[in-house]
Structures are given as C-alpha cells and as structure tokens.
Structure 1
Amino acid sequence: MAGLSTSIWLRLAQSIGLMGEDGRTARPSAPGSGKAPAAVRPSHAIESTATRLQEMLEADPGLKARLHIVSLAEFRDSVGDKWPRLATKVGIIVEQVIRRHVGQGNPFCQEGDDSWILAFPTLSNEEARRRTQIIVEDLGRHLFGEKTGAGDRPLAVAAEVAVADVVSEDGELNSAHVRSAVDDRRTGGARNTVSDSDNLWRPIERPEQARKKEEAAWEVMEPANPRKTPAFDPGMAPSMPAGARLSLVWRPTWVAAGEAISAYSARVVRIDHEGAEPIEGCRAYPPDDPKSALTLDRFIVSNAVRDIVAASRSGNPEVEQSSIIIPLSWSSLSSEQRGSVIIPFSELTQQTRNSRLIIEIFNIPDGTSTPELEAVVSYLRSLCREVLVRTRISAKLSSLAAEIGVSMVGLDLSELRPEEKMDDENLLAAMERIHEATTRDGIGCYLWSARRRRVIGGLVQSGFEMVNGPGLMKDIGRPAIVVPAPRARFVAA
C-alpha cells in the first residue's frame, strides 16, 4: 500500500481518532480543497490502521464491499457565489453530523470541496446505507429544514460505489467515478437499464377494424386534479420585464403581545421602467409566473437578511430585538427550487432565526389540499420561530391552519378584489367575524395594509394580534427597535 496521504485508506484511517506523531488529533484530509498536503508521511499507528481497513474491505471480492458518499453538490449549486464563504462552516457541520451517526470504528474523509467518503468495514451494506441516509437527512435539517418529499430536490444526497471499481491497487481513489455516482443520484438516474432482450420485443398487430371500434368507445375524462384558481385576479399584476428595478422596504407592525411596534414586515417594491408607478407587495407578483415569483422571493430573502444583519451590527445587543416577518409566495415554497430561496437564511444565527424570524406564506391558490399546505408549513417551521398563512376574505382556512401548526392567519387589504372592497364599518364587521372564527379555532389573526386610523383602532380594540399599514406608520428602510405603543392610544384615536 502506498505510504503517502493521498491513499484513501490512510485518509479514512485518520478520522478514527488516532493521535498523530505531533500529539494532535489528525483530521480527515480533503484533496482538491487546497488545504491538505499531497504527500505527508503518516504516523505508524495510522498506517497500521489503514492497512487493516484495506484488508477488511478488499479481503473477499465476493462481499462487494462499498464506499458510501455524502454529497452537498446540490447545496453548493444552490448557494452559487456564496459557497467559498460558507464552505468552511458547512464542512464543520457535516463533520459533526457524520461523527454523530457514523458509529465507532467507521471512518470517513472529505473528498473535494463538497463530498465525504464513508466506510463501514464491519457492517452489512443495508445497515451502511441506513446510517448514510440518516446522516443525509440530518444534514438536510441542519441546512434549514430540507425534508425530502414528492418533487423535492434534497440539498444533501447519498450515493455508493464498489471498492473494486473506484480504488486502485495503491489506494488511489477514482474521483471521477465518485462524481459520476453523485451526479447519477442528483439527476434521479434509473437504477435499472433496458436489457438487450427488450430490443427483441415486437408490437402486437391488431386488425384495423378492431382498432377503430376501440377508439369509438373512448370518452373524454375530466382531469382528477383540475387547475387551481390563482389567489389573485389575473389582471392584478402585469408581467415583470427583464429590466425591472426592485427594492425592499420594511413596514412597522403593531403587536398585541407587549402592545408595541415590535415587528417589521419586508415588502418588495417593483418599478418596471423609468417613470413607472411602483408596484408593491403581492401586486408585484405576476399571476401564473413561477419564474418571476422565484426572482422576487430570492430578492426579498437575500436583501432582508442583509438588512437584518446590518441592523443587528449597528444596534445595542442589550435592547429588546424586534421580530422580522418575511412574506414568501406559495409558488416558490411549493416548488423544487425552494431551497435556493431560503439559502440566505444561513447568514442568520440559529438564535436569531428561532427568536425573531417569522415566515408568512401568501398567494395560496384555491383548492390547495391539506397535505400540500401541511408539507410546506412543516418545511418552514424548522427554519423560523413561527409560520403565518395569509388568506383571502372569502377563504375559510383558520381551522385547517390550526391543525397543521400555523400560529396565525391573516389578510392583506391590498389584495381585495374590487367586489370585496367595502367601507370602514362593513370592513370592521367582517374582521370581527374573522376574529371570532380564529378564536374558536385557537389561533391568532392579523391584518395588513390598513390605511385609516379608524380601522387601525378598531382592529386593535377587537383583539387582532398584529396590524400594519399606512394608517399606522410609514414604511422605513431597515428593521428598527421595539417602540412602545399602548392599546389605549389607538382606541382613543
């Protein structure tokens, strides 16, 4: 066996916890990362361990021993240019998760920038696969709640390769073969291939008369899952041109708990061309345009995180921190690309996410099933303090929302259709009915975009948990501090 640290057996042996000759714990090397030396003479103890490991995995070719791979290539692609800044932190997380689940005596090492090789010399292939999958799922949760479900692309994937196929006689690992195995899993490559015998099949010939008789008996069937009605009228938001200018403002929000302006809601502003009127909030989202929704949601999250971090650095850490509300569209959160939307949240500390971050789902289409909504809510709950669901005045979602772990349901008056708009008296009466329904279901309710002080005062008095809009305060450029705002002040207004 080669005596240099490029041998996969030596690299794996270092992770078992043996002490190097310098008295420090050796860490698995990562070829291609620019940090591991290419030819370092290992200690005698590590060489001995590597030899035993090689013998165990190569002793009987009939056992078909395998190396298992954990890859973050999908995660790396989703973060794009941020990967160099995140790589070290992510690598530490991966190593901690692997050590937690791999089991004593089962070595691992890093391969390249985004993959790790695991060996299970004393376990069956079935048990090795099970442990590798546990590692992948735990990594997914650490990478902001990625839970693989139908249609999801996990941020971490597992693959495996036969030792005989990827390791040379001198212990060199065939990196290209490893990458190929990972790529196959990422693209959902078929595990079964068409055999040569399939090419011998021939179609069954049928008489023309019989074929026509069968076709005449066909009947048109309605689709089982009809297209869902969009949450907004089709004419509410024009298509977004390529040169549209986006910006982000923050809407101060009154919160009943504490009776203060203690939350700030992100709000996107879109200007399609010079001199055009700004299009704000949900109206910036063109209907039936998932690509534009992804663009807008990615912009909101990345810029919101930037503003949160900047505000935290300039503020007093001893002062009570305000809550942050990030509205994200159903179109993005229910898509396979949702991982690319939430990635910037990695720049927030876990403490910030758990104590301050609130994610609001909006633009939920009519006809969305309970399992669909529950899957998205469950996905988000591990990312933040709580999840809100924005609904429509005609929708009845409070009981469902309560069952699946939503903390509040609410409305945005800027989403009202023309036939739904009403005067202050009727609006307050409608809001009171909604509040009664949510109270029965045991969850809170909120209202956005209230323009008049009378409406603000009525909502605060009636028991709404959160209220915002021009009638409360103007939008600002960055999340601010908690500002006391006693309930009596609004009632008096």
Structure 2
Amino acid sequence: MALPFLTRIFHRVPSLFDARMPAAKRPQDQKHFIKKLNGLIRQAKVVQPPQVHLLSLADLRPALPTRWPGSRPHTAAMLAKAVIIANLDPPRLFTEIDPDTYLLAFPSLGLEQARHRLYKIAGDVSWALSSGQFVSPPALAASLPFSSVCRWWRLDLTAIERGLSQARALVPVHSAAAPQSRPAPMAKGARPIARAECRSWPCVHDNGTSPPLRPRLAAPALAPDSQLRVVWRPTWVSQARALSAHCARIVRSDGGGRPWLEGSAAYPSGSKASLMTIERHVIGAVVSILQNGAVTTDLILQICWESLQRQTRRLVTGLIADLPNDILGHRVKMEIFGMPEQETGPNLLEMVGFLRRIGCETLLRQSPERADCAMAARSGASMIGIDLSCLHPDQNFSDEELMVNLLRLRDKARRHNLGFYLWGVRRRPLLTFAINNGFDMVNGPALAGDLPCPTGKGI
C-alpha cells in the first residue's frame, strides 16, 4: 500500500521546487506536455501536421563569457526559461528534456511562422546569456514532426538527439568564403527570386582572394566659397529599441550651382588642407554639443581614414580627447570610413588601438564587396557596417536582392562576434526588414530626416 503513495510523492518532488512560480509560467513535465498537445490535436486546434521544436544550449555554453561559470548553471537556465516564456503564446507549451534542452510547441502557428519564432527565441537566448554580445555558435534549434518524438505517450529521447545532431550538421562552416545561403524575404504575393537571378556582392574570402578594385569616387578640394554645416541623422539602436543615437554628417556646398555633397561624399581625396578643415568642423560641432550637456543620446562621429594617419591623427582628435572619460566611453562612437581597398590590417589595428586608448568605441564602415569581418575583428572594432548611399552606380539591386546580401553580411559579422549596422536606408520595406532582423543600428531618410541639432533624449 505504501509503494504507490511513495511513488506519487517521488514524482511530485521536482514540481515542489517550482511551487512559487505560476503554473502558466513554468515548464510542464513531459507527460503533461504530451497530454496537452494531444488534447489540442484532437480538438483540431493545432495547425497540421503537428510539429514540435527543440532548443539546445549545449553548444552555446562553451562560448559563454565567464559570467556563467559551471558553478552557476541554474541562473543561466532560469534566464533561458524567462526568454522562452516571453516568446510563447498561451497555453505556453514547453517542457525540459535536460538542463540544456527544451521542447516547445506553437499550436496556433504554421510551420514557417513557428520556425521563425523558434529562431528568434534561439537568438534572444544567445543574446541574453552572452551579456549582449554575439557568440558563435548560437543556441541550436530544430523542428521535428510530433509523431516522430512521441512514442506511446513518452518522448523518444533517441529521436530527439538524432534531430539535434542533424541540425548541428547543418550549421554553416565559419568561413567568410562560404556565406550562409538565405532565401530572400518576400512581400505578400510577390514572385520569389530564383537563385540564378539573385546577384551577390563579391566578398573578401579567407583564402586571400578578393574582387577587383573599383575606382574611388571622391570630391574635389574645397573651393574658396565653399560652405560647410553639420546635420544630425537620428539612428535606430536595436539594443535600446529606440532612436537613441545621432550620427554627425557634413553637408558641403561649393557654390556656382554645383550639387550639394553630403556625408562621406563630401570628403576630398588628395587635399590634406581641405580634409583637415572638414574634420575640424565636424569635431568642433560634436565637442560643442557635448560640452553644453543638453543631449543625452549617443553621438556617432565619422572620421576619414586619411585623417587618422600617424602624421595628422592627433590634430584631428586633440579636441575630443580633452573631454571627460565618462563622456567618451559612454556617449561617443568613432566610425572609420574610407579605408583603402588594398589595406591588409596593420594600419587599421594601429588606428583602432589609438581610438580605444582615447576611450571611444570604434566602428568600421566598408564597401559591401570589401567587408572583411575577420580583419575588423582582429583590429578591435566593435561593429562593421555599410552605407547604401555609397553603393557604386552599377550596384542597382532590387529590394529582395539587397535583403539577401544584407543578411549574408550580418551573419558573416556575427560569426566574427561583430555587430552590424546599416546607413542610408531610403525605402520603407528595407527599413522594416533591417529593424526586424536585428541590425544593431539603422538610419536613413526612410527612418527620419536630418536635424540641425540632436534631440535631447532618445525617442
């Protein structure tokens, strides 16, 4: 008589540790998970065919920082569960296979929607456990038919392990020469683009081969009647989920009916005097705003590669280096642009090291076909990005082709633990795509127009 009673008590012990957690917000035991999902299937409340989804942290743990040592696995597990719960719709079906593996169900979502939700959860868990840094490999995700993992009201652990092994085998090799192939996100009713039609940006490969160099489009030296002013472009920051940064941009008019030049297109090549004049004008505007203390958003300062050469770098950064360290370290990001396409890395390493000693976070903007994430990561830069307004005239890609190539660049950056940002977005579909796909920073006319001075707070 005592044996059934003791058995019931024994099976209740695991749930006692979760007693203070609301029932709807803790993982069900495996039998309850199966019973609940089978009940929804019988009631025809599950999109057919029924699928379950696996999330494994086993490959993620070795890449985590020292914040999660082996002595604190439960803290990481609690954080992972919190992220999962936040992304589940009622009735929040998920169960724990082992401390590193979770089984989820999205009964109301179609297969494609469920997979997107699963990959979002995997990315959010990786982001949360890595303290806001991109780690590689991320949390592992896999989708399986419910019938293949449930046998006689029990979970088939062998089938689950086999599904994870197959998903692990599909993780792309960490090589910039083999970017992950992704289908283009399509608007509803749009015709899918065939792979043969979708042109790709050439990329810098790990084996040393590179696409041919393009002639650089540069502005002439400043004219005697040239006029300069600085405008501020509001920038979306993914981590803050707000327009919480402003990018300083130079606007140049040479008079005589010549067109206005903006941003990096306004910087001359071959005229040190003109270049120094522009740099001092921009840096003076940034320093003036920071000293007034009226702005609480981050400020992004663009600096040309030629200005950071050893002979002139202290002339350019002297004003900003006098600012307090707490302002430089938390409010100012330095973006290097205009790096020569034949650069191999030593000069970049020296420049980034110089800016980091001042106390500034450093970003690196490159042309898309020359985006060398490995070199950027070695230099110590925190992010790499591109400016769509600086694309060469023959790079007239459609929105769908741009989306495919931007995803490849973003994934390539993440494989090297770099953030990825995008400037110069002019069309709303591209803007929505960039924000929804977790690009770290985004700006452009499609988001907000340039301002004469940055606003006081992020919006």
TM-score under structure 2 normalisation? 0.52
Shift of 1:472: 0.4
Shift of 1:346: 4.2
Q: How does 1:16-165 map to 2 (within 5 A)?
A: none
User: For residue 239 of structure 2, what is the amino acid of its counterpart?
Assistant: A
Q: How does 1:356-367 map to 2 (within 5 A)?
A: 356-367=331-342
Determine which of 425, 437, 444 is the counterpart of 1:469: 444
Counterpart for residue 300 of structure 1? 282
SS in 2 for 1:435: helix
CA distance in 2 between partners of 1:335 and 1:289 (Å): 16
Counterpart for residue 261 of structure 1? 243
CA distance in 2 between partners of 1:444 and 1:357 (Å): 16
CA distance in 2 between partners of 1:261 and 1:475 (Å): 13
Which of structure 1's runs of 4+ aligned residues deviate more than 6 A?
229-232
Are 1:438 and 2:438 matched, yes or no? no
Are 1:282 and 2:264 matched, yes or no? yes
Cα separation, partners in 2 of 1:296 and 1:325, compared to 1, 3 Å: same
Shift of 1:286: 2.0
User: For residue 325 of structure 1, what is the amino acid of its counterpart?
Assistant: I
CA distance in 1 between partners of 2:212 and 2:229 (Å): 25
Determine which of 401, 418, 431 is the counterpart of 1:426: 401
Are 1:382 and 2:357 matched, yes or no? yes
Are 1:352 and 2:334 matched, yes or no? no
Are 1:337 and 2:312 matched, yes or no? yes
User: For residue 388 of structure 2, what is the amino acid of its counterpart?
Assistant: L
User: For residue 419 of structure 1, what is the amino acid of its counterpart?
Assistant: D
Q: Give yes or no for contact 2:363–2:381 (8 Å, CA) kept in 1.
A: yes
SS in 2 for 1:420: coil
Q: How does 1:143-292 map to 2 (within 5 A)?
A: 233-273=215-255, 275-292=257-274
SS in 1 for 2:222: coil
CA distance in 1 between partners of 2:239 and 2:310 (Å): 34
Shift of 1:445: 0.5
Counterpart for residue 385 of structure 2? 410
User: For residue 403 of structure 2, what is the amino acid of its counterpart?
Assistant: L
Counterpart for residue 115 of structure 1? none
Shift of 1:235: 4.5
Counterpart for residue 63 of structure 1? none
CA distance in 1 between partners of 2:318 and 2:326 (Å): 17
Cα separation, partners in 2 of 1:473 and 1:382, compared to 1, 3 Å: same
User: For residue 278 of structure 1, what is the amino acid of its counterpart?
Assistant: W
CA distance in 2 between partners of 1:479 and 1:445 (Å): 23
Shift of 1:300: 0.9
Cα separation, partners in 2 of 1:295 and 1:383, compared to 1, 3 Å: same
Counterpart for residue 432 of structure 2? 457
Determine which of 279, 282, 301 is the counterpart of 1:326: 301
User: For residue 291 of structure 1, what is the amino acid of its counterpart?
Assistant: A
Are 1:483 and 2:422 matched, yes or no? no
Shift of 1:238: 3.1
Counterpart for residue 179 of structure 1? none
Are 1:392 and 2:374 matched, yes or no? no
Give structure 2 stretches of 5+ with no counterpart. Answer: 1-210
User: For residue 465 of structure 1, what is the amino acid of its counterpart?
Assistant: D
Shift of 1:230: 12
Counterpart for residue 158 of structure 1? none
Q: Give yes or no for contact 2:321–2:358 (8 Å, CA) kept in 1.
A: no
CA distance in 2 between partners of 1:268 and 1:431 (Å): 26
Question: Once structures 1 and 2 are overlaid, which stretch shifts more, 236-245 or 370-379?
Answer: 236-245
Cα RMSD after superposing both structures = 2.1
Counterpart for residue 111 of structure 1? none
User: For residue 446 of structure 1, what is the amino acid of its counterpart?
Assistant: Y
User: For residue 409 of structure 2, what is the amino acid of its counterpart?
Assistant: I
CA distance in 2 between partners of 1:432 and 1:375 (Å): 30
CA deviation digits over 1:13-40, x for unaligned, max 9? xxxxxxxxxxxxxxxxxxxxxxxxxxxx
CA deviation digits over 1:195-247, x for unaligned, max 9? xxxxxxxxxxxxxxxxxxxxxxxxxxxxxxxxxx9997444423321321100
Shift of 1:347: 4.9
Give structure 1 stretches of 5+ with no counterpart. Answer: 1-228, 316-320, 485-493
- Paired positions, count: 249
SS in 1 for 2:385: strand
Counterpart for residue 369 of structure 1? 344
CA distance in 2 between partners of 1:347 and 1:359 (Å): 15
SS in 2 for 1:295: helix
SS in 2 for 1:394: helix
Q: Give yes or no for contact 2:297–2:458 (8 Å, CA) kept in 1.
A: no
CA distance in 1 between partners of 2:212 and 2:288 (Å): 31
User: For residue 273 of structure 2, what is the amino acid of its counterpart?
Assistant: K
User: For residue 458 of structure 2, what is the amino acid of its counterpart?
Assistant: V
CA distance in 2 between partners of 1:377 and 1:230 (Å): 26
User: For residue 303 of structure 1, what is the amino acid of its counterpart?
Assistant: A
Cα separation, partners in 2 of 1:301 and 1:384, compared to 1, 3 Å: same
CA distance in 1 between partners of 2:378 and 2:322 (Å): 31
User: Looking at CA atoms only, which structure, 1 or 2, has the larger radius of gyration?
Assistant: 1
Q: Give yes or no for contact 1:285–1:293 (8 Å, CA) kept in 2.
A: yes
